[in-house]
Structure 1
Amino acid sequence: MELADSSVCLTYESGPAELVDFPQTDEPVHILGNAYSTFYDLDELKADILSRIWITYRKNFSPIGGTGPTTDTGWGCMLRCGQMMMAQCLVIRHLGRDWRWSKDSLNDPVYRKVLSLFQDKRTSYYSIHQIASMGVSEGKTVGSWFGPNTIAQVLKKLSVYDEWSAIVTHVAMDNTIIEDDIRTLCKNFTANRDNGQLESKSISDSSPLTAGSSLKESSWSPLLLIIPLRLGLTDINSLYFNSLKMCLSLKQSVGIIGGKPNHAHWFVGTFEDELIYLDPHTTQPVVDIGSTNTTGDESYHCCHASRMKLNHLDPSVALGFFCLTEDEFDDLCEAFRQKMVSKTPMFEIHKLRPKHWPPEAYMAAGGTSKPVYVNVDFCDTEDEFELLG
């Protein structure tokens, strides 16, 4: 069912998809908030796609948990899509949205550090090892397939430990965004970090982030907002097509996680009535991006994106948005109200939490604390370990 291929310029899709260049048309192509003309901007469009961090199945990595799988082929596609969404956030956070990849990019220590967080080893915060093991706290055994909500919850837990990036990950449940809750969370995260309340636990000296970590002072911590949705019963409702396309045209977009049952993709753009996506269903050998390596990152960048008709999308998805500043969050909320609220909105947005709703966990604690997940092992040993959420 799956294809093992070391090429970084081919993807594999078991259903209807196209893997060709974009035909010339008057309608622009949108890639994560950037608009391109296929008449005049084709090279820039291709460079944008090539610069996204493409994370696929890998083989021959160290066993997950010491005795577990050494490949995620056949079960890890949703986990890889979650990695790609988080990687896009880190690229924006540390390199900027306009950063472009080149064959000598590994000479940039910041890019190397970003990529190192997704290496297939226990010491990497967002590795397949940590994601699969943290999934146990969400009721998923190692080696089982995740849904969009599960990967969102796992990313929320793991991002706590990434002090270098200091990103707040908020998962909007019940199809509802509460602006005041998110503002409180992002501002309290900064205050708690400055007061030393968010110290990571059990991180060894071999962790990529233990040395030289710094964060520019700010009253707002960057936000990854993930909105899990179900947009139909068995098939996606066509009433949501325009809203989905609008999401990917917003500058705060970091894509959509979804696809078909047990077959996930990271959707990064739109073209006419199609979605543009990066496909994780290629198995590549594990690559170690060491401190002295100057090559090897080519397998994290894809020459071509695939396309799929909107009506082939499974109704279970997770929308992702990244707000580097509070102003960007304000703009995002305004865009939701102006462009996406309709007779059939995908989700609701409120400035304040409805009075009949129970408080968020952090609000019940006085609005001054953020969850701290202990017993997370980032040490590079072969002993079996367990992650507790």
Structure 2
Amino acid sequence: MDAEKEEILNDVTSRLWFTYRRNFPPIGGTGPTSDTGWGCMLRCGQMIFAQAVMCRHVGRDWRWNKQKPRGEYLGILTAFLDKKDSYYSIHQIAQMGVGEGKYIGQWYGPNTVAQVLRKLTAFDQWSSIAVHIAMDNTVVTEEIRRLCRTGNCGAGPLCNGHAGASESDMPWKPLVLLIPLRLGLSEINEAYIETLKHCFMLPQSLGVIGGRPNSAYYFIGYVGDELIYLDPHTTQLSVEPSDSGDIIDDSFHCQHPPCRMHMSEIDPSIAVGFFCNSEEDFDDWCQRIRKLYLTNGALPMFEVVDQLPIHLSNPDVLNLTPDSSDADRLDRFFDSEDEEFEILSF
């Protein structure tokens, strides 16, 4: 038991922990110099995506050793610093969010931060990651295979300069799969809890972003019926690299016992994340999900299909949305985009 506890603590400490920061360069040149009070979901988006980038470059089993950051780890950390020219900085996320209808300093939901991170990957040629956001509770494998074979343009064999190559000959880009879900109306339907647990157990799991109304957290695992999470609601000083490029990284790793929350307490609006480094890894994920639903009798949170169902591709078919009388409760946490999600169960 002590060895298992130590393993959990090492895993938690080795994750990149992004929290509120203060005294960073003004966002947009004239904007805020701190994200305290509004940036928690942006920080959670950074954390789940940083875990994917870590898996991409240093592997899932990498562990922090409190030595001076170097090599690929230093490159990963640099990509998330609070600077306008870092790929996944609070500056880039906040400014890219304007295109999603969010002004700088406004609350984000899981879907918005996922959409913004997807757009930012286009600038990160080093990681060369394909990001797919599965909407309508449906993972379409055909769309993912096309995306990972042709890059982010989705334009077929002429994409990325590979003229004349067939899609099957294209190299596979590592996949970040984000699935925004709503597992209930004002509270999570407990019928989904076992399925959620199994998602954390998959080797491709990146965790879950969600939380409580107006308080976002990054959930990375569970013990019993309690979720283990990293909490961004701590304001720390912004970290600047030295003239030689060195970074003091202690504040980017949570070195105290992880926080816990009973699964029934989380808000039903979440985004589940997975990382598949290769096509074989993605095939394995598909098989594990389908086997989970077939053998364990688990209530599906989403479905995996080969092709887009007709009812989702037909623009004349209206999706069911909550009654307008529920709008006040939904506005506590969800984005306008999130309100378009289908309610799985009440």
Same-fold status (TM-score > 0.5): yes
Q: Which residue of 2 aligns with 1:384?
A: none
Deviation of the 1:351 alpha carbon: 1.3
Show the 5 A alignment for 1:182-197.
182-189=144-151, 194-195=160-161
Partners of 2:233 and 2:158 lie apart in 1 by 40
Q: Which residue of 2 aligns with 1:337?
A: 290
Show the 5 A alignment for 1:1-389.
38-106=1-69, 108-189=70-151, 194-195=160-161, 219-290=171-242, 292=244, 294=246, 296-303=248-255, 304-340=257-293, 342=297, 344-358=299-313
State how many pairs are aligned.
303
Partners of 1:337 and 1:129 lie apart in 2 by 39
Q: TM-score, normalised by structure 1?
A: 0.74
CA contact (8 A) 2:137 2:303 kept: yes
Deviation of the 1:340 alpha carbon: 3.8
Partners of 1:196 and 1:120 lie apart in 2 by 36
TM superposition outliers: structure 1 runs of 4+ over 4 Å: 190-194
| Residue 95 to residue 131, structure 1, CA distance change in 2 (3 Å) | same
Give the RMSD, CA atoms, in angstroms: 2.1
Deviation of the 1:46 alpha carbon: 1.4
- Which structure ranks higher in relative contact order (CA pairs < 8 Å, sequence separation ≥ 6)? 1
Q: TM-score, normalised by structure 2?
A: 0.83
* Deviations 1:308-353, CA, capped at 9 Å, x for gaps: 0001000000000000011110011111111146473111110122
Bigger shift: 40-49 or 71-80?
40-49
Partners of 1:48 and 1:74 lie apart in 2 by 28
Partners of 1:170 and 1:311 lie apart in 2 by 28
Partner amino acid for 1:243?
Answer: T
CA contact (8 A) 1:112 1:289 kept: no
Deviation of the 1:305 alpha carbon: 1.3
Partners of 1:90 and 1:291 lie apart in 2 by 25
Bigger shift: 183-192 or 75-84?
183-192
| Residue 186 to residue 95, structure 1, CA distance change in 2 (3 Å) | same
CA contact (8 A) 1:289 1:297 kept: no
Deviation of the 1:291 alpha carbon: 6.4
Partner amino acid for 2:237?
Answer: P
CA contact (8 A) 1:77 1:281 kept: yes
Partner amino acid for 1:152?
Answer: A
| Residue 44 to residue 356, structure 1, CA distance change in 2 (3 Å) | closer
Partner amino acid for 1:96?
Answer: G
Identical counterparts, % of pairs: 51
Partners of 1:49 and 1:343 lie apart in 2 by 28
CA contact (8 A) 1:136 1:142 kept: yes
Partners of 2:262 and 2:48 lie apart in 1 by 21
Partners of 1:311 and 1:81 lie apart in 2 by 20
Partners of 2:162 and 2:35 lie apart in 1 by 36
Partners of 1:76 and 1:109 lie apart in 2 by 29
Deviation of the 1:41 alpha carbon: 2.6
CA contact (8 A) 2:150 2:170 kept: no
Partners of 1:126 and 1:249 lie apart in 2 by 27
Q: Which residue of 2 aligns with 1:10?
A: none
Q: Which residue of 1 aligns with 2:331?
A: none
| Residue 39 to residue 193, structure 1, CA distance change in 2 (3 Å) | farther
Partner amino acid for 2:299?
Answer: T
Q: Which residue of 1 aligns with 2:327?
A: none
Partners of 1:268 and 1:343 lie apart in 2 by 20
* Deviations 1:250-282, CA, capped at 9 Å, x for gaps: 110111000001100000001000000000000
Stretches of structure 1 lacking an aligned partner (at least 5 in a row): 1-37, 198-216, 361-389
* Deviations 1:120-179, CA, capped at 9 Å, x for gaps: 010001000010111111111100010000001101111111110010111000000001
Q: Which residue of 1 aligns with 2:340?
A: none
Partners of 2:162 and 2:101 lie apart in 1 by 31
Partner amino acid for 1:248?
Answer: F
Deviation of the 1:295 alpha carbon: 5.1
Partners of 1:281 and 1:166 lie apart in 2 by 31
Partners of 2:239 and 2:279 lie apart in 1 by 37
Stretches of structure 2 lacking an aligned partner (at least 5 in a row): 164-168, 316-346
CA contact (8 A) 2:239 2:247 kept: no
| Residue 116 to residue 356, structure 1, CA distance change in 2 (3 Å) | same
Partner amino acid for 1:322?
Answer: F
Partner amino acid for 1:195?
Answer: G
